[in-house]
Amino acid sequence: MYAFNLGLLAKQGWGLVNDSSSLVAQTLKAKYFPTVSFFEAKVKSNALPCWRSICAARTVIEMGSRWQIGTGDFAKIWDNHWIPYPSRFRLFSPKPSHYGSLFTDVEFNAIVSMPLSLQRPTDKLIWHYDKEVDSRTNSYTGLWKKIWAAKVPPFKVKVGVWKICHDIIPNRLNLIKRHVAIDSHCVLCKGMVESTLHLMRDCYYASCAWLSTCIGKPPTGNTGNTVKDWALFLASHLGLSRFELCLMVWFVGICPSCGGSKQPIGFLKINVDGTWSETQMVGGIGVVIRDEDEGFVAACVKTFEYVSSPIHIEALVAREWLQLAKLRGLQNFILKSDSLQITSALNSIFLDMSFIGHIVEDSKAMLTEIIGASIAHAYCQRNEAAHCLARSALSSSCDRAWFEEPPDIILDVLLSESSN
């Protein structure tokens, strides 16, 4: 019971640190720590019991919080918790009297493999065990109110859209979850799993249907990884009349309405993958670019030093491609990775606070700036070409690129994938 109460008090204390603009935080700061931080505040003899209790839980906050390094201007190297190791979050080495060998090998590897952001955000104190921050408070309530207030047929359209948002329509993925023995791939584009979000947004034929309306193709980057998140995004960014038109398009059914349409010309398919050597702390990436007819366009391999985990290199390869696409002005492509964690993170509308959060947020920012860019998950069997290149990058340790003619190492894989 004591630990439970201490945890509740720590949550209140974390609220003072994380939301300093609240009235309670401003009042307590003005009274008890106007010139210092919450962790440096003294507990005076005449302090209120509530303040004494919150301060008693500061050790719990210190055990689970650390600085996420941005520019490095605020975190103190020797005094603050900033190393992403859950055991301590701070340096084991004592503060040196002279600048010789400052860090141990373990500390050096942890520091140089720490993901940094291209956007140079300020240092931020975070709760290490939070993977993402939900910036929406009762947002879904507002979504439902907009749907029920829309001037569309009340029963058929509104109830149908409600079922779509809750993912309870009989698409192939849902049927397989209910043990129906069918192929999971979309019957139209043949390339992706037929989920509700794929049918409503990500399918090539769905893109054709959206383009045929006055709405055009709705944004796909950083708009959520569920239909409900995407609907929330559209409700927040589209006017009432355009949102009502979205509801009608959803109800009529996107894919059947354009079954005879062709895939967009010039739409590129980008398969990426990464491999990692734990002993060398090196990662290799492979990228394969194909056109809408599965024809080979280009491929490349690259190595990265000081990579700390497989998910680290998977995040790096996505950011590396998006950075190149933005630099070269590329548009209209779908980036496919076999890492479900990365594709979900890139499609999430939440702020990513995980170890790779800086890399993910960089990629999400670039996604919003690239026209026609989207992220999708690919099964390992359909990402074999990129995986082969990533392994070759790790073994050869040199960066290479191929154009028009694919490398011999993936010729058989490309032929197999195109035939399927």
- pLDDT given at position 191: 72
Is residue 281 scored above 70 in pLDDT?
yes
pLDDT at 314: 94
Which helix (H) or strand (E) is 370 found in, with range? none
Q: For 309-319, b where at least 16 C-beta lie within 10 A, e where not — what string? A: eebbbbbbbbb
* pLDDT tops 90 at residue 272: yes
CA 396, CA 302: separation in Å to the nearest integer? 10
pLDDT reported for residue 114: 86
More confident residue, 205 or 400: 400
Question: Whole-model pTM?
Answer: 0.65
Q: Which segment of 12-21, 219-228, 335-344 scores lowest on mean pLDDT? A: 219-228
For residue 264, give Cα distances in angstroms to 272, 283, 333.
21, 34, 10
Quick check: 353 and 130 in contact, CB under 8 A? Answer: yes
R_g (Cα) of the chain, nearest Å: 25
Q: Where are the beta strands (DSSP E) in 315-393?
A: 333-337, 351-352, 373-377
Per-residue pLDDT at 258: 34
Return the pLDDT at 95. 65
Q: Are 11 and 64 in contact (CB under 8 A)?
A: no
What span, in angstroms and rounded, lies between the C-alpha atoms of 66 and 16? Answer: 16
Which of the pair, 167 or 321, is modelled with greater confidence?
A: 321
- Average pLDDT over the chain reads 80
Strand ranges, E, within 51-179: 65-68, 124-127, 132-133
Which amino acid is located at 174 in the chain?
A: N
Tokens 């109460």 -> residue: 5
- The one-letter amino acid at 17: V
> Does residue 255 carry a pLDDT above 50?
no
Rounded to an integer, the average pLDDT of 239-267 is 59
pLDDT over 60 (residue 99): no
pLDDT of residue 262: 40
Q: For 117-129, what is each residue's pLDDT tens digit?
A: 888 888 888 877 7
Q: Is 131 helix (H, G, I), strand (E, B) or coil?
A: coil
145: enclosing H helix or E strand:
helix 139-149
Mean pLDDT of 20-35: 86
The CATH superfamily of 268-419 is Ribonuclease H-like superfamily/Ribonuclease H (3.30.420.10)
Asked if the model's pLDDT at residue 80 lies above 50, the reply is: yes
Nearest to 213 by CA among 256, 257, 152, 169: 257
| pLDDT tens track for 35-45 | 888 888 888 88
The H-or-E segment that residue 232 falls in is helix 227-237
User: Which of 134-143, 236-245, 361-370 has the highest mean predicted lDDT (pLDDT)?
Assistant: 361-370
Rounded to an integer, what distance in angstroms lies between the CA atom of residue 215 and that of residue 394? Answer: 45
CA-nearest of 382, 209, 201, 401 to 300 is 401
Q: Is the pLDDT of residue 147 over 90?
A: no
pLDDT classification of 261: cutoffs 50, 70, 90: very low
Domains of the chain by residue range? 2-130, 139-257, 268-419
Cα 410 from chain centroid (whole Å): 29
pLDDT value at residue 123: 84
Residues 181-232: pLDDT tens digits? 777 888 777 777 888 888 877 777 777 777 777 666 665 555 566 778 878 8
